[in-house]
Structure 1
Amino acid sequence: MRGTREWLNPPADVVQHDDALTVTAEHGSDFWRETLYGFTRDSGHALLVPVESTGSLEVSFFVSFDGRYDQAGLMLRNDAAHWIKAGVEITDGSPHVGAVVTHGRSDWSLAPVPDWAGREVTVRASWAAGAVTLRARPHGEAWRTIRVAPFDVGAATGAGLYLCAPERAGTVVTFTGVRHGEPDTDLHEDPPVP
């Protein structure tokens, strides 16, 4: 890991306390590109640091938000048209774990996880050989693989935490950890501890 952390679209408020970061999203913040809805939004909040061509990132946070499309997790970003976000998003009234992979246009995969509401969750990205493996789990449970996607991590790639509040003001997320480490050694084994 090299460089310093920098906000892409600074949020409404950031409070550092001990090892946690409590962040308030701006109303209307989002990352999406064209597919189905016909709009492009690049106003979400992401605290990114440049990363190497192989590695991993884990972001932990509490699923304490409950507004429609409120979301938090991790982001890998090359530019406005090439990025991945993965985490927890509120849709149809409950938390869903999912990912948006964008190569010019966005695609969205998700699965309901209603029992994650109010819990601490960790989302993990591991990248090597032109692919990213995405996993997630609530604290104390086993990893779930949620996506394997093509994505080239290069000199321009930043990685870090992200949050968005597309439809309301006052969305607050407490992030409890951001850890960079080694990539996964095997898709079917638990990843190394960062």
Structure 2
Amino acid sequence: MTKASQWFNPPGRYSDGPPLRFTTAAHTDFWQHTHYHFYRDNGHFYYWQSTADQLSLVVEVQVNANSKFDQAGIMLRKDAHNWLKISAEWLSKDQAALGSVNTQNSKSDWASQTIQPATSWTLKVEISQQDAVVFALLGAAWQQLRVLDISHIRENDRICIGIYGCSPDGPGCEVIFHRLDYAESA
């Protein structure tokens, strides 16, 4: 990746590869209030900043899970109260989930679907000005997971976009990003 990157809550151990890999810390998450009634903003986020109108990020992520809810994927972020995460999440040896959490003004919503566990998952977000379209590669076809307004995440036309990982309930896990394809245009 040629674009300058930085960490928000850097993990204790990481390698920017390729592939980029890191180990999540115990009890880390990005979540704000809704349903679970807790606030966490201590997950690991590796990101780039952009003012481009059109952006896309495709990642292939492997989550070597240890505990329920170990997760990793794509994140768009303004601050602790306004962000979007798109994830592959481990639930059990028999179940995983593809999901997205949109947090606006300190309220998180969660849209998810249960899938079979896999060695890795490929996720994509396409951004056009104030809108985002979220996809997952299922088999040989992209499946649209969500379309949403992200005006609450852009600040003065700037957006932070990158990858994240966290372990809400467990001791931490290894996360490996085998693919990071980032593109932008005016």
The TM-score normalised by the length of structure 1 is 0.84
Work out whether residues 165 and 171 of structure 1, in 8 Å CA contact, stay in contact via their aligned partners in 2.
yes
Structure 1 runs of 4+ with >4 Å offset: none
Q: Secondary structure at the match of 1:167?
A: coil
- Kindly provide the CA deviation profile for residues 135-180 of structure 1, in whole angstroms up to 9, marking residues without a partner as x: 0115x62111111111023444211110001111240011112111
Work out whether residues 32 and 39 of structure 1, in 8 Å CA contact, stay in contact via their aligned partners in 2.
yes
Report the equivalent of 2:182.
180
Q: 1:131, 1:161 → 2: CA distance?
A: 19
Unaligned runs of 5+ residues in structure 1 are 184-194
Q: 1:127, 1:9 → 2: CA distance?
A: 25
Q: 1:22, 1:179 → 2: CA distance?
A: 15
Q: CA RMSD in A?
A: 2.1
Q: 2:34, 2:2 → 1: CA distance?
A: 33
- Kindly provide the CA deviation profile for residues 37-65 of structure 1, in whole angstroms up to 9, marking residues without a partner as x: 21111000010100223211112112432
Work out whether residues 2 and 50 of structure 1, in 8 Å CA contact, stay in contact via their aligned partners in 2.
no
- Kindly provide the CA deviation profile for residues 11-39 of structure 1, in whole angstroms up to 9, marking residues without a partner as x: 1210344x202210000110001101211
Work out whether residues 2 and 49 of structure 1, in 8 Å CA contact, stay in contact via their aligned partners in 2.
no
- % identical equivalent positions: 31
- Equivalenced residue count is 179
Pairwise CA distance, 1:122? 1.3
Structure of greater relative contact order (alpha carbons < 8 Å, 6+ residues apart): 2
Q: Secondary structure at the match of 1:160?
A: strand
Work out whether residues 86 and 99 of structure 2, in 8 Å CA contact, stay in contact via their aligned partners in 1.
yes
Which region of structure 1 is more displaced relative to structure 2, 100-109 or 3-12? 3-12
Higher strand share: 2
Unaligned runs of 5+ residues in structure 2 are none
Pairwise CA distance, 1:3? 5.6
Q: 1:63, 1:164 → 2: CA distance?
A: 10
1:149 partner amino acid: L
Q: Secondary structure at the match of 1:143?
A: strand
